[in-house]
Amino acid sequence: MIHSIFRQPVAETWRKLFFDGFSHLVVNGERWPLSLKERELIGAVSRTANAPAWLARRRLMRRLAATQAPIAHMRDGYALCDVSGVQGMSEAFTVAEAKLRTYLRYKAGEADVGERFDRAAYDQEMAKADRDPVKHVPHRHDLRAASALVRPFLAPEMYLTAAEYLGVLPVLASVRIAWSPNDSDGLRSSQMFHLDPEGARQVKVFIAVRNVGPENSPLTFIPEHHTLRLIESGHPAFLGRRAKDLKLENRIPRSEWISHEGPPGSAVFIDTSRCFHYGSRPAPQPRLLLYAQYLDPFCSVFAVARRQRRKLAEHYAFYETRDLAERSILGRRQT
């Protein structure tokens, strides 16, 4: 399908590939999904076209990795580990709990939610995921809280785990307090097995702030080699936007499915572009996680796009960086 890209005006193609991400293209008003292979090809083109910046960024990663170790090694698209000892993690947990309290009071219409903020901005932050199974708990009105949430994801052992897997120092694309009420009817969007659209590879990290067990509808996933085998089979059940449990179960027994469960601090680093996953289904108990997304700036929605990198830098402008690595990861530098 890659040939259809070239039938579009060049500017439009460029925008689609490098600014909006490339999980799909819109050709003559129709949505064309890009296969993982096509996304890999685009990543390779992007890295080649940006070789000097890409190599400089790799060199920086190697320099950082020479003195510090990742907290885990991703194999088969994921790593389960305990991150409770990471510097700043317990402060981030405290912030997550405090902001969740505010959020729940606000949603319940309480007059005094315990803090003051600009309601319009709060509503806007909340609205981003209001209809999704995983809610964004607003925190950006409180810069101290927002900084405390970013900090543990800038700990070398955290970003190096993603860097080792991606082969380049990533950018921190998002950090969230992820609240799943698990009270929906039926299954929609991320409650069904799916692959995320950003690039051919990415790393998301999910961290339990409170205990996660089967009653909290944990993130559940299929390791990479199984997922790739399903896709490569070419069966239409696995090429659409969502896949049914039953279709997967027929090919991959449930004993091979992995759930992210455990006490506070239990984490999973996972490539959600290459491992089928779902979570936050209707369940007896809600779920509270910290979540962050690391992206390869040369093989993702960010690609070569200076505009996107600047947007990222602006998004985290409140954060006081301490070194070159942090500035690179927050998009303040190309390399």
Ligand X SMILES: O=C(O)CCC(=O)C(=O)O
* Residues of this chain that bind Fe ion (CB under 5 A): 190, 196, 272
Among all residues, whose Cβ is closest to ligand X?
A: 279
Q: Centre a 10 Å sphere on the Cβ of residue 213 and count the other Cβ atoms it contains.
A: 16
**Residue 277 binds to ligand X (criterion: CB under 6 A):** yes
Token output for 303: 């690609």
Instruction: Report angle CA 86, 129, 120 to the nearest 5 degrees.
Output: 100
Minimum CB distance to ligand X, residue 221 (Å): 9
Which CB sits closer to ligand X, 34 or 304?
34
Query: Nearest Cα to 243, choosing from 191, 183, 203, 198?
Result: 191
**Residue 133 binds to ligand X (criterion: CB under 6 A):** yes
Which one of 23, 280, 300, 328 is in contact with ligand X (CB under 6 A)?
A: 280
- Interaction residues for ligand X, span 174-203 (CB under 6 A): 180, 190, 196
Interface map 281-320 toward ligand X (x if CB under 6 A): ----------------------------------------
Which CB sits closer to ligand X, 71 or 134?
134
Total residues at interface with ligand X (CB under 6 A): 12
Place of tokens 């936007």: 241
Give dist(CA 154, CA 296) in Å, integer. Answer: 15
> Cα dist. 179→79, 94, 109, 134, 287 in Å?
22, 14, 18, 6, 6
Place of tokens 């698990």: 182
Alpha helices in 167-280 (DSSP H): 224-232, 245-251
Which CB sits closer to ligand X, 278 or 302?
278
Chain residues in the site for ligand X (CB under 6 A): 133-134, 180, 190, 196, 204, 219, 272, 277-280
